[in-house]
Structures are given as C-alpha cells and as structure tokens.
Amino acid sequence: MDLDVEKYPHVTVVTLPGETIEPGSVEELKKAILPLVETNANLIFDMSRIRFIDSMGCGVLLFTERKLKEKGGHLNICCSSPQVTALFEMLGFRNFLGIYSSKEEAVKSINIHKEYRRKR
C-alpha cells in the first residue's frame, strides 16, 4: 500500500489512501504503518478522503495510538467527514486521540504538545 508521507518538525503526516478502510485493506494498512510507528514518535493520519471506516479500521487507529504512547508519542487524526467524526465521537476516541478538521490544526497541536513537554 502506498502512503503519502510528509515530514514536519516533531511529526509525520500520513495521508490514508482511498475513501474506505475495510477488512480487505486493514492488514495491508497496518503493515504499511508499522515502519512509520517504529521510526516516529508523533503521527497524524490525514483521513480527509475517508468516508467510511469499520471496526477493524478503528482497531488500526487504536493499535497505532498504543504503540506511539509506549514511546511517549501521540496520534492525531485529521478528519473532514461528518459521519466518520461522529463515529469517533460515539466511540469516545476524543478521550485519547486528537481529532481535528484540518491537517494544519493537527500539526499545530502536536507542536504545542511538544513545546509543553519540553518546558516541563
């Protein structure tokens, strides 16, 4: 699976391909993401093209957040679909994931958290 990857200071943005994350693509997505999780502390998944995600896709998000948290990192989500955002709200993802409507907001949030942690 080809992922569009952009490097910023303190964070890597990964644009997830396609419009859906379903069982047929979950394992391939997880394999593509794993090297990024191993080499980055903070990731942003740009899901602005995603219109549907099932429970297995949500599991990939949870897996990624857990792996990053073990390294002291964080996962932010950029999501513009009202349906996907509503699903994340219903599942309580906002309690442990940063969910933003734009990539710029998600990047800014990671940079703010990085500065805060450095000052402590």
Q: Which domain holds residue 87?
A: 4-119
Number of domains present in the structure of the chain: 1
- Residue 90 is predicted with a pLDDT of 95
pLDDT digits (tens, 9 = 90+) for 17-58: 889 998 888 999 999 999 999 998 899 999 999 999 999 999
* CATH code at position 74: 3.30.750.24
Structure token digits, residue 92: 């309580």
Q: Residue 10 pLDDT more than 90?
A: no
Q: Residue 116 pLDDT more than 90?
A: no
Can you tell me the distance from the alpha carbon of 90 to that of 110, in angstroms, rounded to the nearest whole number?
Answer: 23
CA end-to-end span of the chain: 39
Query: Which residues face 63 on adjacent strands?
Result: none
pLDDT digits (tens, 9 = 90+) for 57-103: 999 999 999 999 999 999 999 999 999 999 999 999 999 999 999 99
pTM: 0.87
